[in-house]
Amino acid sequence: MKLAILSDTHGLLRPEVLEHLKTADAILHGGDINKQSIVDQLRQYAPLYVVRGNNDKEWAEEIPHDLTVTLGGVTFYLVHNKKELPADLSGVDVVLFGHSHKYVQEEKDGLLWLNPGSCGPRRFHQEITMMTAEVSDGSIQVEKILIPHEVQ
């Protein structure tokens, strides 16, 4: 199963991101979507698992603050800001978060911590990134996707 993992789109789905969505079996989004039309567009490509970010206001009241989902035998816990994690993450294999716009892929305390960075408007002079992952039989292989952008 191929996953597209993104966060902090802030109202922008770049053409390079859309190319990766075309081959995804599921999409995980770590929040800060910024408008319903982005959610609708993402749902056209694959099943969408999404959490609400700090910039997702009244329009996003139906989107959960956090979400646990198992795909390909791998259990993901999604939350926008990792400072809002619960104390008990038992049964979770991967923690997926956003908010900082900084790419993170590290194993710590028996968990895989993933932040796909931001693939929306460029902010804070950060790279523009997302992830793809292959999950099957309880294992996950993650790939960083660096999206070319204009230098400002």
The total number of structural domains in the chain stands at: 1
Give the CATH number for residue 120: 3.60.21.10
Does residue 152 sit within a domain?
no
- The average pLDDT across 103-130 equals 90
Does residue 24 sit within a domain?
yes
Domain hosting 137: range is 2-146
Sign of CA dihedral 86, 126, 52, 63: negative
pLDDT at 150: 63
Model confidence pTM above 0.75: yes
Does residue 88 sit within a domain?
yes
Cα separations in angstroms, 29 against 55, 74, 114, 137, 152 = 14, 16, 11, 22, 26
Per-residue b/e over 103-120, b at no fewer than 16 CB within 10 Å?
bbeeeeeeebebbbbbbb
Does residue 151 sit within a domain?
no
CA-CA distance, 1 to 137, in Å (whole number)?
10
pLDDT at 139: 94
Confidence of residue 125 (pLDDT cuts 50, 70, 90): confident
pLDDT at 61: 93
pLDDT at 53 over 70: yes
pLDDT at 148: 83
Cα separations in angstroms, 77 against 51, 112, 124 = 10, 10, 26
For 73-98, the pLDDT digits (tens) are 999 999 999 999 999 999 999 999 99
pLDDT at 152 over 80: no
